[in-house]
Amino acid sequence: MKIDLSPLLLCVAIGMASLCPLPAAASSLDSLKSFLSDVKTGKAHFKQLVLDKKMTTVQESSGTMLFSRPGKFRWVYEKPYEQLIVGDGVKLWMYDVDLKQVTVKQMGRAIGSSPAALLAGNNEIEQHFNLKDLGRRGTLDWLEATPKDKESAFQSVRMGFSEKGLDVMELRDHFSQTTVIRFSEIERNPKISPDTFKFTPPKGADVISD
């Protein structure tokens, strides 16, 4: 089964949110806002699960992601299938290696007020989202971001923070499906070549534009 890129199109950049450590006694809201002002580039490994309304795993994948604010990111699926999403600040490129197919969209129209706007756009996140500190549950402090745009494909995005920073994300859509992303091997403000966020369709690949 191929990886469904629809949820990732919306959440690809939020996976970078608050990769910085939490200040002492900080709330999850403080952590997110600290990220927006302090973290400009980042790199991490991720594991992603897609759960149905019965919370049964229907899809599992893993890979790496990199970003450079504002608006540039590279999300690489390594297992079980090779797929790539690159945001170059202007366009969003999605490449399916097996199908040799590239889909390209304008960044603004593709992301809009989706969860990705929490980080791919400017720092005015409360213009598009209602943010709520959910308090501590278990070992994590939780933040919920609810899109103000009623046409958004997601009902909410929840982020769980440990003292090291972002640990897990949960994205809930209107079909009672949940996408869970866990991060590891996080690097904050590493040097990343600008070429990382450039994409040229491979020779022979079909290119589909919106």
pLDDT per position as a tens digit, 65-121: 888 877 788 889 988 888 998 989 888 899 999 999 999 988 766 665 454 555 444
Amino acid found at 185: E
SS3 185: strand
All residues at 6 or more sequence positions from 21 whose CB lies less than 8 Å from its CB, including other chains: 163, 164, 165
Tell me the pLDDT of the chain averaged across its residues: 79
Read off the pLDDT of residues 12-32 as tens digits, 9 standing for 90 and up.
Answer: 444 444 454 544 445 777 767
Q: Look at strands 140-147 and 154-162 and give their pairing.
A: antiparallel
Q: Which of 196, 162, 146, 150 is nearest to 31 (CA)?
A: 162
Domain interval for residue 177: 5-209
* Cα distances (Å, whole numbers) of residue 24 to 30, 80, 158, 167, 201: 10, 39, 21, 17, 46
pLDDT digits (tens, 9 = 90+) for 97-109: 999 999 998 876 6
Domain CATH number, residue 105: 2.50.20.10
Say what the pTM is.
Answer: 0.77
Domain count, the chain: 1
Q: Considering only CA atoms, which of 88, 86, 60, 62 is closest in space to residue 75?
A: 86
Residue 123 binned pLDDT confidence (cut-offs 50, 70, 90): low
